[in-house]
Amino acid sequence: DLGLSQVDKALLTLFRPTLHMLSFGELPHVRVAVRESINVVDGSRYTLIQVFDDFAMYLRGPVTDLADEKSGRLGVAFETVSVVPLRDPADVEALGIPCRQEITIRKPRSTYIDVTYLSPQLRVHKGASGKTYVLTRIPDDPDIAAPLRGR
């Protein structure tokens, strides 16, 4: 249950974000439930992969500020969004969601994460939204998203 209170669970039931909101206005107003999030920082590129039931959304952009030990802030400016179907692409496209197209975000937004704890196994950060995230490191894999892209 991710440690959510009863109130938080009730709010999540009432409020489900739309793909439009999560894609900075580039994808349709389809209600979604995030099943998994994967953060990939590869040099100067940042990819946020949000996995839903039938597809995954990729937000990509350059790292704008590298975190230093003093501030712990990592900035990113998302520039593109794309969707990869996890099941039949026709089902996803029937919702008005374009598949496997890199879409330029017309109004790119800069955002950041403040890294509050970092170890070889764990990263804790607070996003610009004010929410705190606890991430576990997976074994180094230069192409962690390959299984999603191949579908």
The distance from CA 114 to its chain's CA centroid, rounded to whole angstroms, is 16
Q: 115 or 109: whose pLDDT is higher?
A: 115
- Tell me the CA distances in angstroms from 143 to 31, 39, 57, 149, one per residue in order: 29, 12, 16, 10
Neighbours of 56 (CB within 10 A): 22
Q: At residue 4, does pLDDT exceed 60?
A: no
SS3 41: strand
**Residues 65, 112 contacting (CB under 8 angstroms):** yes
Note the pLDDT tens digit of each residue in 67-99: 555 678 888 899 999 999 999 999 999 999 999
Q: Average model confidence (pLDDT) for the chain?
A: 82
Q: For 113-127, write each residue's pLDDT tens digit.
A: 888 888 888 888 888
Angle (nearest 5°) at CA 46 between 61 and 103: 35
More confident residue, 49 or 147: 49
- For residue 26, pLDDT beyond 90: yes
SS3 of residue 90 by DSSP: helix
